[in-house]
Amino acid sequence: MSFSYYDGGKEIHNVSPAAARYLSAQLKVEVGLLKNGKHYVLSIGTPSAINYAPAKGVELIYHTHPNGTIYPSIFDIGWLNKNNAYNATNASSIILPLGKPAIKFNTKTTYAAPPPPLQIEE
């Protein structure tokens, strides 16, 4: 689900990072703020992804991590890489992990690899 609004030629950031974190915590999904030309788009995604594909003219301003992960996932890095093929101005973005400070990342940031399997002795 996405909501779009036109900026009317002036900067609007009506969806603050705090509001995005609140929505993310309540809905238990990723919430992203993107800019597509002069439109801002609020994307309500899934527990592990925003619901917006890379495209020409799109910038990912920020997105939440409802599970609190402080590093970008391989999918976050992949999104920026795909988007850079369309739009070189979106070289970085911001992650808003719930309960932790925001972090800025780019395509060279180390992503969060899945943890190794547990070694259980029987």
- Is the whole model's pTM more than 0.75, yes or no? yes
pLDDT digits (tens, 9 = 90+) for 66-94: 999 988 998 999 999 998 888 767 789 99
Of residues 5 and 62, which shows the higher confidence score? 62
pLDDT digits (tens, 9 = 90+) for 3-48: 444 444 444 456 788 889 999 999 999 999 988 887 888 888 999 9
Give yes or no for a contact between 67 and 47, defined as CB atoms under 8 angstroms apart.
yes
Where do the structural domains in the chain lie, given as residue ranges?
A: 2-106
Q: Please name which of 58, 94, 98 lies closest in space to residue 76, comparing C-alpha atoms.
A: 94
Q: Which CATH code of 3.90.120, 3.30.70, 1.10.10, 3.40.140 fits the domain covering 2-106?
A: 3.40.140
